[in-house]
C-alpha cells in the first residue's frame, strides 16, 4: 500500500476531559547536561520542569521477581514497539505485560509458559490482544488475555528462527513478516537465510539464502509492506529489496543504528543516527535531519550521534525519536550530547521536540536508553541506570509523558478510539470499545463517509477522497486521540 499517492490525515473529536498538551513545543537542538533529578521509585513520578515532562519508573526487581541486571527489567529495543495497538497494554522485557494506564502488572507470561518462550516478541499492529513470537523453527502468536497459542507456520530447515533476527518488524497491516535463522559463524551471530511470510494467506512468498561470509545483522519488512531491507554485515550497508528479494539499492552511507518511519509527506523512509538523516525508500533521496548545529564551539554540517533512533510512532508520522549516549566536548566546554531524548521532524527543517534526558550513564549496552515512541507518539519508553551523576546503578524501564496544562487539547487519560495508519491511503483500522455509528467529514463539515463500527478492531475501506484533513466522529462521543501533523 503506497501512502504517497494521497495524503489523508484523520483528526478525532473528543469528549471533554482534562486539558493536556500531547507534545513538547517545536524547537531546535542545543545539547545540554540534564538537571540533577532524583531517580523515581517504582511507579513513582519525577517532574522535569525544564522540559515539562513527567518520568515514571515502570519496572522493579521485587515486583517483577527478577534479579538486578535482568533484561526482563528493560524495554526491548528502540526499533520494537512496547505498547499494543490501542495503547491499553505495554510489554517490558519479553513476558511482563503492564496495564498502560497506571503501569501496574497485568500478567507475566512466564508464569504459564516458563523458559524464555516469548523472546523476540512483537505486538500485532491491529489486534491489541495478540503478540507474535518465534520458538525453535516456528512462528506463533499468543492471545495475552486467554493465553492461547497458535502455530502460524513451521519453517522447516531453519535453525532458531527469529523476527529479524531481533530487529525486524511486522507490516502495519499485520500482513507481512520476514523470518530469519539465527546462527553463529566465526564467533559472530546473525542470519544467513530469510523468508517473506504472508500472515494473512499463510504462505511463504519468497526466500533468500546468503553465504556464511555475507551474514546479515538483521532484515525486516518495511512499515507499509512495500520493501524488504537487509543489513549486510559484509558490506556494512543496509540494502533494499523488492518482495521477491530482488536487490534495488543501498540505503546507508554507513552501518549504524537505524529504523523505518513515515516522513512528513507520507513516504516510507529509512532513518539513522550516523549521520542523523533519512533516505526515501522509493527513490533513494537523502536528507540531513539536523543540517547545522553549534556543538562544542564549532559548526557541524552533518551531525552524527552514536545512539539509537525509533520510528515506531506510525500513528504520528513525520517524526523519529533519537536517544543519545554521553559525549563530552574535546575542549572540555560542555557536551556534544548528554543522554538526551528528542524527536526530529522528518522534513529536513531541523525541527525537534525535546523529551528531556534519560539520566543514564550509558556506560554499557544495557544502560543505553534505546528510547522508543508509543504508536501515537504521545509517550516514550527508555532504559536507564540513572547514573549520569553517579547516584544510580540498576537499569530499569521508564516512561516519559509530556503534560502541559496551557496547551488547549482536550484529552482523557485513556482513549477509546484508535486509528492505524495515519496518514492513510485507501484503508484504515479503527479500534473501539463498543459498537457505534461513525462519520468522516471534511473541514467544512460535509459528511464524506459514514458507517458502523463494531466493538474491537474494524477495517474500513475509504472512498476516493481528495488529499487533506478530515474528522472522524462517533455517535456516542467516546474519547479518541488527536493526531497532529
Q: How does pLDDT run across 243-293, given as a tens digit for each residue?
A: 999 999 998 765 568 999 998 888 899 999 888 899 999 999 999 888 655
| Beta strands in 284-402, from DSSP E residues, in sequence order | 286-288, 294-295, 298-299, 308-310, 319-323, 326-328, 335-338, 340-345, 351-357, 372-373, 379-384, 396-402
Dmax over CA atoms of the chain, in Å, equals 64
> How far out from the chain centre does Cα 137 lie?
26
**pLDDT-above-90 percentage for the chain:** 41
Q: Cα(178)–Cα(228) distance, rounded to whole angstroms?
A: 8
Clarify whether residues 33 and 148 are in a common domain.
Answer: yes
Clarify whether residues 393 and 463 are in a common domain.
Answer: no
Q: Of 384, 402, 420, which residue sits at a domain end?
A: 402
In this structure, the chain runs to a length of: 485
Clarify whether residues 135 and 244 are in a common domain.
Answer: yes
Q: Of 361, 379, 402, which residue sits at a domain end?
A: 402
Does residue 334 register a pLDDT over 80?
no
CB 308 within 8 A of CB 273: yes
The DSSP code sequence of 214-274 is G-EEEEEE-TTSS-EEEEETTT-SEEEE-TT--EEEE--SS--SEEEEE-TTS-EEEEEET
Segments forming the whole domain that contains residue 432: 1-20+406-485
Clarify whether residues 114 and 192 are in a common domain.
Answer: yes
Residue 182: pLDDT band by 50, 70, 90 thresholds?
A: confident
> How far out from the chain centre does Cα 211 lie?
31
Clarify whether residues 240 and 385 are in a common domain.
Answer: yes
Selection from 170, 43, 140 nearest residue 99 by Cα:
43
CB 439 within 8 A of CB 449: yes
Clarify whether residues 285 and 256 are in a common domain.
Answer: yes
In this predicted structure, what is the pLDDT of residue 276?
A: 87
Clarify whether residues 298 and 377 are in a common domain.
Answer: yes
Specify the range with the lowest mean pLDDT, choosing from 17-26, 68-77, 117-126, 429-438: 17-26
Clarify whether residues 344 and 430 are in a common domain.
Answer: no
Clarify whether residues 110 and 183 are in a common domain.
Answer: yes
**Per-residue pLDDT averaged across 371-378, rounded?**
91
Backbone angles phi, psi at 392, to 5 degrees: -135, -145
Strands 468-474 and 8-12, sheet pairing:
parallel
Specify the range with the lowest mean pLDDT, choosing from 165-169, 272-276, 474-478: 474-478
Residue 388: pLDDT band by 50, 70, 90 thresholds?
A: confident
CATH number at residue 443: 2.60.40
Secondary structure of residue 196 in the 3-state scheme: strand
pLDDT averaged over every residue in the chain:
81
In this predicted structure, what is the pLDDT of residue 480?
A: 37
Specify the range with the lowest mean pLDDT, choosing from 71-75, 187-191, 476-480: 476-480
Clarify whether residues 65 and 205 are in a common domain.
Answer: yes
Clarify whether residues 418 and 335 are in a common domain.
Answer: no
Clarify whether residues 345 and 211 are in a common domain.
Answer: yes
Pick the most confident of 195-204, 223-232, 347-356, 452-461: 195-204
CB 287 within 8 A of CB 351: no
- The more confidently predicted of residues 138 and 13 is 138
**Per-residue pLDDT averaged across 177-195, rounded?**
77
Q: What domain count does the chain have? A: 2
CATH number at residue 378: 2.130.10.10
**Per-residue pLDDT averaged across 107-121, rounded?**
80
Specify the range with the lowest mean pLDDT, choosing from 64-78, 98-112, 316-330: 316-330
Q: Of 402, 423, 456, which residue sits at a domain end?
A: 402
Q: Where is 91: in which H helix or E strand?
A: strand 89-92
Secondary structure of residue 356 in the 3-state scheme: strand
Backbone angles phi, psi at 31, to 5 degrees: -55, 140
Amino acid at each position: 500500500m503506497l501512502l504517497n499517492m494521497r495524503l489523508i490525515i484523520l483528526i478525532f473529536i473528543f469528549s471533554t476531559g482534562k486539558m493536556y498538551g500531547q507534545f513538547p513545543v517545536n524547537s531546535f537542538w542545543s545539547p545540554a547536561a540534564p538537571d540533577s533529578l532524583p531517580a523515581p521509585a517504582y511507579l513513582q513520578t519525577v517532574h522535569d520542569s525544564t522540559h515539562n515532562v513527567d518520568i515514571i519508573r515502570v519496572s522493579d526487581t521485587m515486583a517483577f521477581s527478577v534479579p538486578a541486571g535482568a533484561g526482563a527489567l528493560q524495554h526491548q529495543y528502540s526499533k520494537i514497539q512496547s505498547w499494543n495497538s490501542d495503547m491499553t497494554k505495554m510489554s517490558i522485557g519479553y513476558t511482563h505485560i503492564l496495564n498502560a494506564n497506571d503501569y501496574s502488572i497485568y500478567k507475566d507470561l512466564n508464569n504459564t509458559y516458563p523458559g524464555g518462550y516469548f523472546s523476540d516478541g512483537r505486538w500485532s499492529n491491529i489486534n491489541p490482544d495478540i503478540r507474535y513470537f518465534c520458538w525453535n523453527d516456528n512462528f506463533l502468536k499468543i492471545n495475552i488475555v486467554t493465553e492461547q497459542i497458535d502455530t502460524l507456520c513451521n519453517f522447516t530447515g531453519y535453525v532458531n528462527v527469529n523476527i529479524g533476527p531481533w530487529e525486524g518488524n511486522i507490516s502495519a497491516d499485520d500482513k507481512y513478516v520476514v523470518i530469519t535463522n539465527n546462527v553463529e559463524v566465526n564467533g559472530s551471530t546473525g542470519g544467513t537465510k530469510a523468508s517473506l511470510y504472508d500472515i494473512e494467506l499463510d504462505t511463504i512468498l519468497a526466500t533468500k539464502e546468503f553465504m556464511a561470509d555475507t551474514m546479515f545483522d538483521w532484515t525486516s519488512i518495511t512499515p507499509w509492506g512495500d520493501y524488504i531491507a537487509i543489513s549486510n554485515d559484509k558490506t556494512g550497508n543496509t540494502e533494499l529489496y523488492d518482495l521477491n528479494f530482488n536487490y534495488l539499492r543501498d540505503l546507508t552511507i554507513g552501518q549504524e543504528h537505524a529504523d523505518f518511519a513515515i516522513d512528513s509527506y507520507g513516504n516510507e523512509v529509512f532513518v539513522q543516527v550516523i549521520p542523523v538523516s533519512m533516505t526515501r525508500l522509493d527513490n533513494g533521496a537523502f536528507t540531513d535531519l539536523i543540517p547545522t548545529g553549534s556543538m562544542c564551539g564549532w559548526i557541524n554540517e552533518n551531525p552524527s550521534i552514536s545512539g539509537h533512533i525509533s520510528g515506531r510512532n506510525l500513528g504520528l508520522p513525520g517524526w523519529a525519536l533519537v536517544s543519545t549516549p554521553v559525549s563530552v566536548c574535546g575542549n572540555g566546554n560542555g557536551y556534544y550530547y548528554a543522554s538526551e531524548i528528542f524527536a526530529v521532524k522528518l522534513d529536513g527543517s531541523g525541527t525537534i521536540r525535546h523529551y528531556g534526558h534519560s539520566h543514564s550513564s550509558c556506560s554499557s549496552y544495557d544502560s543505553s536508553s534505546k528510547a522508543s515512541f508509543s504508536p501515537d507518539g504521545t509517550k516514550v519508553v527508555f532504559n536507564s541506570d540513572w547514573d549520569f551523576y553517579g547516584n544510580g546503578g540498576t537499569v530499569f524501564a521508564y516512561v516519559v509523558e509530556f503534560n502541559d496544562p496551557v496547551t488547549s487539547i482536550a484529552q482523557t487519560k485513556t482513549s477509546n478510539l484508535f486509528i492505524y495508519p495515519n496518514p492513510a491511503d485507501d484503508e484504515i483500522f479503527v479500534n473501539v470499545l463498543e459498537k457505534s455509528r461513525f462519520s468522516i467529514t471534511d473541514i467544512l463539515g460535509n459528511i464524506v463517509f459514514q458507517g458502523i463500527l463494531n466493538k474491537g478492531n474494524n477495517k474500513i475501506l475509504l472512498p476516493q477522497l481528495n488529499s487533506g484533513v478530515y474528522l472522524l466522529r462517533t455517535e456516542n462521543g467516546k474519547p479518541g486521540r488527536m493526531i497532529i501533523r
